[in-house]
Structure 1
Amino acid sequence: MSGSSSFKLVALVKLVVAVACGGLVVALMLFPVIGGAGIAAKSGAKMVADVATNFNAQTPTTVSTVLAVDGSVLTSYYNQYRTPIPLDQMGTWIPKAIVAIEDKRFYEHNGFDTTGMIRALAQNVLSGGVSQGGSTLTQQLVKNTLLYQASTQAEQQAAVEQTIGRKLREAKIAIELEKELSKDQILEKYLNLMNMGQGAYGVRAAAITYFGVEPSDLALEQAALLAGLVQTPTKFNPFNNPKDAKKRRDIVLSAMISTGVLSAAEGEEAMKKPIVLNPGAKPGRSCSEAPSQGGFFCDYLWTYLTKTLGIPPAVLKEDGLTIKTTFQPSFQEAATNGILGVGEALAKDAGVFGLADERLAMMDVLDATNGNILALAMNKRFGNDPNDISQTVVNYPSLPGKGAGSTYKIFPAVTALAQGVGINFVTGANAPYTSKKFKDGLKPYVVSNAGKYADNLPLWKALYQSANTYFVGLEDHIGSMDPIVDVATAMGLWAPGDTAIADQVKAQQQASFTLGPGSANPLRLAVAYATLANRGTRCEPVPVLDILGPDGQPLVDPKTKAPYFTPGTNCTPNAIPPGVADTINDILLKDVMPGHAGQTGRRAYTGDGRQIAGKTGTAQGNESYAFIGYTPQVVASVMAYGLHREAMPGLPGAEEGFGGGYPATMWRLAMENILGSYPMVNFPPADPKVAAGNTAKNPVNCVGKTPAQCKSALAKAGLTAADSGVPVDNKSVPAGRVGAQSPAVGQPVAPGAVVTYSISTGKPSNGQPCAEGQDPATTGCTP
């Protein structure tokens, strides 16, 4: 034996005496003798006094669980797979196995085992290295807690550095900890903390990872294997090193025999058993693994939590939260199937909107009464496999895409009704129509209709039948795009603070905005229409119901001292007047409910008598289309468009696609399986005052007058005259004079309304249909 070893053995003898006399402080007085001259200047008592013991014993980095409305798990957030459980749920064997192999005097010492420390020091001196640590379970708990709580590399290094200072701090903290917690509490924390390999931390995660069972169901030999992993999880991993794992397991069983936990017969019987692994599934933490096609909702949720609410990702992944979401798995499946079902149901071609198709189709389902997002569906799966074209990580259901067409006509309609024009207001903007106020660049803005429409439609009919020219004429009457854009903003077409498009439309006075050619976000469209369904109250979309900390209380932002999320704070009453919303809803019922000529959304009707309102939309060139349908309780926004510039497909036999085709049908197929969850509730009737507006009867009869006389008379009445440009046959009126007008004398008009007149040819009508204002008795026209 070397002289150095002899000197150290002498020091150990002194240490034994010191321990017997004074415990930790006296023993530590001799640490400098063993540890070297570097700390010899300090006495053991001074060393102990200088050690800080600030310590948070909370188990770090636990799994946060994300729940759907039905209580099923949507996804999980975690850096370490750890799900703490009480000691009484850990079964019989794993606590006993851990104590036997790691700290057999655990229930005897006060956190620092002087006997074990002396033994370890002696062995280390004799071996010339570090072969035994001598740390108690409590000390190991302290060391690993500090390691897992470390937020910097320096803190991680300090938690594991091989120094007397680190050991001293652990020992002092361990002794203090045992004054605060019972032995069982310390053991519980230890068993919930430790790295047990294969990405599992704590006994519950380990039991599921290796054997697919709860800890309480572990057999003796299984518990012994898990206990053996704590020392070196990689070396004793049974998946990769089964021989070493079995040797280590049997060492644990031997320790259990030597401590009296097992009889020799029980231990030897367990040693004979082979290692049989039955790995269970870890909690899914990728949105591509979300059940019920919920990947897009899962992705939106993460963005909402981290960006909108500002919850740090580390808190979500480490603090063991319970996040209750608004996600409805059955609604999600119904929406997805509704999109995919149109191929088989209508075109007998599953590829029309199949998963591998380059045409995108999406459906956003919201609770109309509170903004809860119930489903975000599309015809692709959420995933990032570059070799699978059916996957995408672009969250199309919540992002701007292509145009939504005539779905935007509600914004000038709401604006006009709020200004008092009434539902019978006639613009006189017949096709083709040249705007009187707005331009397309340097040229006058000229618009036509998609299909044939009767001249001089009233607002209510123009809205549900979707006449383009009417709404450009309505913009002329309103006089500026500003109030229309303000209404769209108030209804939620854009997220709060997102003013880019609104500012552009106002700055350029883009009359085309009303016809929806620009980029539209299906989620924001659903919000805007939900404002109608909710009688003028706008609710921002929310994907969560509650966010609870590990204590079961709402998670609090430490900066503001307020909960990160407070339910019910996302709604704004009277974003638009309730009576205006009721009146628009009454009009849009005519687009879906049976019995209304010229309706465009009839294919969305579910056939059960339930009131459904809606609006179709088709962008220019048929490159995209949409249908937004709703009841008083739920709204769903459907959009579809191609990744390339091409016309979207129409129903069988149709040359081009429109919003009333595939989109309306997707909506119906989904809602046939969703609306049954809601009672049948009718919309409130139209508001009589809003419907009537501030209109009066037209006092001017232009028929028989010259155009100049007509213009003069209308101007005096506060109305505007416009030549229709289309002559009318009227034998009772000389050629060159006004032969017909709309609105006719006595019909309702709003202040400043346009009255359109047509010049007579002086010829008999010969049974032609009567123009508005023509008398069949005098002209010969057919009513």
Structure 2
Amino acid sequence: MSNNKELRHKFLLWFWGVVSAPFVLLLLVFSLIGLGVFGPLPTFEQLENPSSNLATEIISEDGQLLGTFYVQNRSFVNYDEISPNLVGALLSTEDVRFYNHSGIDFRGLTRVFVKTIIMGNESQGGGSTISQQLAKQLFPRDTSSRSGLVRKMNLVVTKFKEWIVAVKLERNYTKEEILAMYLNMVPFGNNAWGVKTAAKIYFDKTPADLTAEESALLVGMLNAPSRYNPVRHEERATAKRNFVLEKMYSNDLLSSDQLDSLSALPIKLKFSPMDNTGGIAPYFREMLRIVLTAKKPSSSDYWDQAQYEADLERWNTDPLYGWCNKNLKPDGTPYNIYKDGLKIYTTVNSKLQRYAEEALKDHMANTVQKEFDAQQKRSNYRIYSNDIDNAKAKELLAIAVKQTDRYRNLRNAGASEEEIDRSFNTPTDMTVFSYKGDVDTTLTPMDSIKYYKRFLRASFVAIEPQTGNVKAWVGGPSFEYFKYDQVYQGRRQVGSTFKPFLYTLAMQEGMKPCDQVPNVPVTFDMGPDQEPWSPKNAYTKYLEKYNGQMVTLKFGLAHSINNISAYLMKQYSPQAVVDLAHKMGIHSPLDPVVSICLGPSDITLLEMVSSYGTFVNKGVHVEPITVLRIEDKHGNTLASFAPQKNEAINDQTAYVMIEMLKGVVHGGTAAKLTYQYKVPGDVAGKTGTTNNNSDGWFIGITPRLVAGTWVGGEERSIHLTNRGEGAAVAMPVFAKFITKVYNDATIPLKPNLSFERPSVMPDVTFDCTSQPAEEPTKDDEFFQ
């Protein structure tokens, strides 16, 4: 009897030992995990503030997403901004008991144990709750290569860690917060991290507007974004979408009729992939990236002392320049635009930006580049102008070769000059730019350099003069292929667009638009050992009859007569012109020489357009501003920005110059703006063309917008066509742009707005037709 009791006792000990062993082992493992034996667990602070690489969003003034800076292209969205369709699709497919568990679904746990542990099928992993999947996203698994038992043990420990983190997440967050965090974390392919970015990229929608079928498509992509990518694998993605719809039907989220009708629908995408080279306003976005991340200038990094001093002054005076490095987060580290989820609210208007890009591309592709291509063909595809001999042309191409990444990489790899030369002359498969779309071809790298030099470059910028807000920014014809930004990086000779500064000085000193001056050559004594200088008029046949005549200053500016500019230069010092130009917004170096009256100075398009805004804004110059405020990922304002202002000229002089510049578009060099392009309303402006048609300029002025265009070759020795004056190559971009703007009823910029006349205005005559100087008519050759 005692033996039976002893056997029974041993049996019970063994039985309960075997039964309880897994639980004891499980408890032991959990205890060891909690003690950090298998690696640290997330702290409470980490759970409260889970780290994730949130993309910085660049937002237009009208609330449109212009683009993002990212390591992972992820933007944050709150639960109440997510469509119920998406939540229903997710829970029906991934975690139908989500609201009934506390982080671990024990039914799913059994399936995980059988498939993953016993069967060794690591790809299954089914049964993971949304909370566990979120834990895996927030605190990724160790993916280092292991094999055999070690790998399986590591997988078990990692899974246990995820359970613990999932339970902690459930304790620290509501169910809705967990769903939002999950949908903000998961990848959807095509550089889309999180549902906000995915909705934008695939459907051009917000998450709140997603339909049931769109939600099912996105949820179907979660486990394998590449396999179920609707762009590349439409049939496969459709089948997966319909599977998710069936799950929604099973959970009473869809009726039978809805399931049938939605399953029969084809996939309808508005696919607009986001990257740093495509999308809207790429030059503007790149400018912001460079400016925000700039570091404090160090003289050792500069070979140009003047540029170092200019950048250092900008560091000290411009709060946006180097903002990320001048401002620290609460933890003492600099802001990171690629990870911190900032929101940068800009001044750019998305509609004006699109119109600017369309206008520039239209004119360059259909007119300017075609004419230049025809000229190239006539010259046997000689890239440079005729005043560049073959030896110099070869030297210029050699310089271009040394500026390429290919050359630098080969040099760094130790290649000889012979090997480099052979590489640049070996045919290579490549994709090249064309206005009709990218072209796959085979060229030698040397031929590709020549190919791209045959494309003329162009830029455009529009500014609201009263606020300094930059409304549109186009740095070139294609950011992907021509990354150099001609709005603010490129300085080119401005030609006759500089003349208004000289005329402004004259008006400020008491001269009047209808004052008559002699249209005769003017000679300047250039000092000892130098030849006298006498600027010549640009050859324009219709103006010949005015040579030697008395003409008005208004006429001289309207027709950009060099004799009149030279006459005015005789009256004032070059330094006075330089000082005035600087007050009006020109920051580029200006030499105080008499030739400044013809615009030989190198200035950026941004500076020129900004300075012309002074005329509209009653003589007050407003520095261009591109960012209104920066917010953190929680919506807290980190910085606000306001433009710098200074009174450059009095309001009477500013208005007189507006009237003078109106004469340029009503009978002057920009007359086609009104009689051919039919631009209505109050409009003024100035054309500019440099020697040998190297550069073509036009700056247009309206009561609420000032915009400018530059067109030219990559190098000054690449000249525009014989019709390369600013009125032909640059002005039409402004005309096409402003016409699009005026035709858009949703934009409050209309031709019925007028330039504001000062409340106190001296008696100045602007109608000079009663003067002896004759105004040309449309019958003159100039207008043909």
Does TM-score exceed 0.5, indicating one fold?
A: yes
| Candidates 468, 474, 478, aligned match of 1:382 | 478
Q: Pairwise mapping of residues 199-214 of structure 1 onto structure 2 (< 5 A)?
A: 199-202=191-194
Q: Deviations over 1:376-415 (max 9, x none)?
A: 469x742536xxxxxx444334443542212212233334
Q: Pairwise mapping of residues 472-487 of structure 1 onto structure 2 (< 5 A)?
A: 472=566, 474-479=568-573, 481-487=574-580
Q: Deviations over 1:29-50 (max 9, x none)?
A: 3557xxxxxx6xx996999999
Give secondary structure in 1 for the equivalent of 2:688: strand
Q: Is the 8 A contact 2:342 2:630 kept in 1?
A: no
Alpha carbons of structure 1 residues 523 and 456: separation in structure 2 relative to 1, 3 Å? same
Aligned to 2:502: 412
Tell me, in whole angstroms, the C-alpha distance in 1 between the residues paired with 2:760 and 2:153.
Answer: 76
Larger Rg over CA atoms: 1
Alpha carbons of structure 1 residues 355 and 492: separation in structure 2 relative to 1, 3 Å? farther
The reply on whether 1:448 has 2:544 as its aligned counterpart is: no
Tell me, in whole angstroms, the C-alpha distance in 2 between the residues paired with 1:608 and 1:141.
Answer: 57
Tell me, in whole angstroms, the C-alpha distance in 2 between the residues paired with 1:114 and 1:627.
Answer: 72
Give secondary structure in 2 for the equivalent of 1:573: strand
Q: Pairwise mapping of residues 154-173 of structure 1 onto structure 2 (< 5 A)?
A: 162=154, 170-173=162-165
Q: Pairwise mapping of residues 252-401 of structure 1 onto structure 2 (< 5 A)?
A: 261=251, 278=267, 280-286=269-275, 289-290=278-279, 296-297=283-284, 300=287, 303=290, 308-310=320-322, 315=337, 319=341, 321=343, 323=345, 325-327=347-349, 329=351, 332-333=354-355, 336-337=358-359, 340=362, 358-376=455-473, 381-384=477-480, 392-400=482-490
Q: Is the 8 A contact 1:53 1:169 kept in 2?
A: no
Q: Pairwise mapping of residues 662-741 of structure 1 onto structure 2 (< 5 A)?
A: 663-664=730-731, 667-668=734-735, 670-674=737-741, 677-684=750-757
| Candidates 626, 634, 638, aligned match of 2:697 | 626
Aligned to 2:27: 28
Shift of 1:98: 5.3
Tell me, in whole angstroms, the C-alpha distance in 1 between the residues paired with 2:36 and 2:359.
Answer: 73
Q: Pairwise mapping of residues 532-571 of structure 1 onto structure 2 (< 5 A)?
A: 532-544=615-627, 550-552=633-635, 554=637, 556=638, 563=639, 565-566=640-641, 569-571=642-644
Q: Is the 8 A contact 2:554 2:663 kept in 1?
A: no
Q: Is the 8 A contact 1:210 1:279 kept in 2?
A: no
Please list every run of 5 or more consecutive structure 1 residues that lacks an aligned counterpart in the other structure: 1-7, 19-25, 33-38, 154-159, 386-391, 557-562, 652-656, 693-768, 770-783
Q: Deviations over 1:524-565 (max 9, x none)?
A: 2111111122122222233455555555554x2xxxxxx1x4
| Candidates 135, 138, 146, aligned match of 1:145 | 138
The residue type equivalent to 2:581 in the other structure is A
Shift of 1:574: 0.4
Aligned to 1:709: none
Shift of 1:106: 4.2
Aligned-residue RMSD, C-alpha: 5.8
TM, length-normalised to structure 2: 0.61
| Candidates 503, 509, 523, aligned match of 1:434 | 523
The alignment-based identity, stated in percent, is: 22
| Equivalent residues, number | 617
Q: Deviations over 1:123-152 (max 9, x none)?
A: 76656897869764323322312349x9x9
Alpha carbons of structure 1 residues 345 and 282: separation in structure 2 relative to 1, 3 Å? closer
Shift of 1:53: 2.7
Aligned to 2:212: 218
The reply on whether 1:615 has 2:656 as its aligned counterpart is: no
The residue type equivalent to 1:280 in the other structure is L
Aligned to 1:752: none
Tell me, in whole angstroms, the C-alpha distance in 2 between the residues paired with 1:343 and 1:123.
Answer: 60
The residue type equivalent to 2:605 in the other structure is P
Q: Which of 207-216 and 605-614 deviates more?
A: 207-216
The reply on whether 1:635 has 2:706 as its aligned counterpart is: yes
Aligned to 1:753: none
Q: Is the 8 A contact 1:110 1:178 kept in 2?
A: yes
Shift of 1:620: 2.6
TM, length-normalised to structure 1: 0.61
Q: Is the 8 A contact 1:15 1:30 kept in 2?
A: no
Give secondary structure in 1 for the equivalent of 2:337: helix
Q: Is the 8 A contact 2:340 2:633 kept in 1?
A: no
The reply on whether 1:468 has 2:562 as its aligned counterpart is: yes
The residue type equivalent to 1:404 in the other structure is V
Q: Deviations over 1:310-331 (max 9, x none)?
A: 4669536762737454235367
The structure that is helix-richer by fraction is: 2
The residue type equivalent to 2:594 in the other structure is A
The reply on whether 1:575 has 2:658 as its aligned counterpart is: no
Aligned to 2:584: 491
Q: Is the 8 A contact 2:681 2:753 kept in 1?
A: yes
Tell me, in whole angstroms, the C-alpha distance in 1 between the residues paired with 2:231 and 2:728.
Answer: 55
Alpha carbons of structure 1 residues 11 and 443: separation in structure 2 relative to 1, 3 Å? farther
Alpha carbons of structure 1 residues 16 and 135: separation in structure 2 relative to 1, 3 Å? farther
Shift of 1:636: 2.6
Give secondary structure in 2 for the equivalent of 1:433: coil
The residue type equivalent to 1:623 in the other structure is S
